[in-house]
Chains A and B, each alone.
Chain A
Amino acid sequence: MVASRNNTSNPARIPALGLRTLVLMFLSILLMFLDNRDNHLDTVRNAIGTAVYPLRVIVDAPVRLWVWASESSQSRNDLQLENARLKSEQLLTRARLQRLNSLEAENARLRAMLDAREQFEDRVRVAEIMAVDANLFRHSLVIDVGSGDGVYDGQAIVDADGVVGQVIKTGPMTSEAILISDPGHALPVEVNRNGLRTIAYGTGEFGRLDLPGLANNADIEVGDLLVTSGLGGAFPNGYPVAVVDTVNRIPQRAFADVSATPSAALDQVREVMLVWSAPPDDDVDDAALDGDDE
């Protein structure tokens, strides 16, 4: 130790190691501080993210190849069966859609009578998931569309069965989204049966959302479907979120112990849909007005 103080002849000594480490540590803390408070560092993040993008594509290639291979090696018989199944499914869906069309028209008429604001038809786009859970500490995923495709922060992501999550960071070519099951995520929902409003919190488990804000006498039952209420402004309303699976009313407590199972297969999705609910410039006004209405 004494010798190392002024030892330039020792080849093993790395000059100013401690100082360099301290400076870098300070720099890291500064970066984290800036990153946590605001989005000042998005340009830096995007630049490095773009540099890493080819690597992500290469890493993802074997999985894609496997999917492609298993698709193209299916037997003719299997394909015919699948085709028949899809046709019958499509028939069913179209029949339902006809009803939906008339209902939508009726809804629009009724809303017009009530002098309510017109609902915009949602625009959707399919996005492929590039990495599930890139960040181990969060329930997140990376999708293959970015700000170049019109994706914006806070945009809703759904799959065929329900709400998946929302975009938290947009890059030029990819975006990162947080799932509704992340412990840091909260989603304004309402019970489809009676319009009871509450908030669904993520728990860190894929199969469970918590609804801690419901009073003991709240009208909620096992099997109730929760849909987005659109109150937060981030999500368009009316998308299914979860089905209530336990309602535990403990008399001494003020709030019931309610949890729900997400409708979307959060840990199995491969493709998701991004939803543009309204013309982007109207977005904020909409949210505010909706909030006043209800």
Chain B
Amino acid sequence: MWTMQPWTVMMSNDRAIRHLPVILSIIVALALTMLPLPRVIEVFRPNWVALIMIFWALSVPRSYSVGIAWVVGIVLDVSHGTLLGQYALALCVVVYIVVRFHLLMRVFPPLQLTATVFALIALYQFLLFWINGVAGITAPAIVYWAPVLTSAILWPLIFTLLSGVSFRVQMRS
């Protein structure tokens, strides 16, 4: 599964089937983001939505690019109660980088890809940190940097799962 290449742009007439896994995965990621967790592990919650958006931007960059990322980011902002546009901006920048370099990233070996995702999530968190700094909101450092680690650890799992899904969608269409 890990070595499978789900990159082929899916040319399906059935748009619903094509978009369904993407929409579902985003909803699941949002739900995981809102899931109440005990305080101790709360700060380690991975950036599910960012990981999902990175995956789809990497595999289907034509359909799921910065626009979708921005809209999802706004929804994230509302559900987190952060400044409207904060997550949208961070997600947009990260997805831009992925789409811009998707051809390069697709040929990365798994380990290198995970390292790249680590860097992308670090950038994402840094943007959030930066915006908070400008807005005068202070939070302990672990809040920003713990998710970078857990997100990178979970990336192979998400990649494997979603590769299977997008492969099956290709088969059906």
Contacts and interface: CB of A to CB of B under 8 A. Distances in A.
Given A14-B65, A36-B135, A134-B81, A28 B88 contact: yes
B81 A31 contact: no
A250 interface: no
Contacts of B112: none
Interface of B: 9, 27, 30-31, 34-36, 39, 42-43, 61-62, 65-67, 70, 73-75, 78-86, 88-89, 92-93, 96, 99-100, 102-103, 128, 131-132, 135-140, 143
B81 A135 contact: yes
Given A48-B74, A140-B81, A32 B89 contact: yes
A113 B103 CA distance: 83
Contacts of A210: none
A122 B140 CA distance: 36
Given A14-B65, A17-B99, A52-B79, 6 more contacts: A12-B61, A21-B66, A30-B85, A31-B85, A52-B78, A134-B80
Interface stretch (A58-66, A104-112, A143-151, A221-229): A58-66
A18 B100 CA distance: 9
Q: Which 5 A-B pairs have the closest CB atoms?
A: A31-B85, A28-B89, A28-B85, A32-B85, A21-B96
A162 to B, nearest CB: 19
Nearest to A21: B96
Given A28-B70, A45-B78, A55-B30, A14 B61 contact: yes
B20 to A, nearest CB: 17
A24 interface: yes
Q: How large is the interface on A (under 10, 10 to 19, 20 to 34, 35 or more residues)?
A: 35 or more
Given A14-B62, A24-B92, A35-B84, A138 B137 contact: yes
A12 B102 contact: yes
A248 B74 CA distance: 46
Interface of A: 11-12, 14, 17-18, 20-21, 24-25, 27-32, 34-36, 41, 44-45, 48-49, 51-52, 55-56, 58-60, 63, 131-138, 140, 142, 169, 176, 183-184, 204, 267
Interface centre among B83, B85, B103, B128, by most A CB within 10 Å? Answer: B85
Contacts of A142: 81
B131 A59 contact: no
B34 A32 contact: no
B132 to A, nearest CB: 5
Contacts of A183: 138-139
